[in-house]
Amino acid sequence: MQQWKGREAPSLAEIEAMAEAARAALPEAFRGPAAAVVLRVEDFAAEAVLDEMQIEDPFELTGLYEGVPLTEKSVFDPSGPDVIWLFRRPILDEWVGRGDVALDTLVAHVFVHELAHHFGWSDDDIAHIDRWWE
């Protein structure tokens, strides 16, 4: 435990920088559309979000896509930007619990998972393609 003495957990800004690095590393075909998505990092999801999703434990939600997937967008959709939310404390909790993955890799995974929803992929599609936990 001595290696953590005097050290602090990564800040919101550091988690955001890890996600932005993942965005910059996307293949060219995805980089442009991904640039239009706003990234927000908070410690936890808002209580209203957790209630709406029927999530009792705020540590269960590491990320959230808020918007209309590209496959469903039309000119009649609200003009606000799509947003990907990353939740620092649940991400850190998962990272510590796993103990087998680098933090920047986990942040990138959560970000890309949420970004996949922006591209119109379902959770099943994502799980079929991204089996990173195996």
By C-alpha distance, which of 15, 2, 19, 45 is closest to 115?
19
pTM for the model stands at: 0.86
> What tens digit of pLDDT does each residue of 69-99 get?
877 777 676 667 899 999 999 999 999 999 8
Distances (CA, A) of 84 to 77, 96, 114: 18, 23, 6
Give the C-alpha separation, 130 to 114, whole Å: 12
pLDDT digit of tens for each residue in the chain (134 aa)? 456 566 788 999 999 999 999 999 888 888 888 998 999 999 999 999 999 999 999 999 999 999 888 777 776 766 678 999 999 999 999 999 998 899 999 999 999 889 988 888 777 777 665 655 44
Give the C-alpha separation, 13 to 48, whole Å: 24
By C-alpha distance, which of 97, 95, 132 is closest to 116?
132
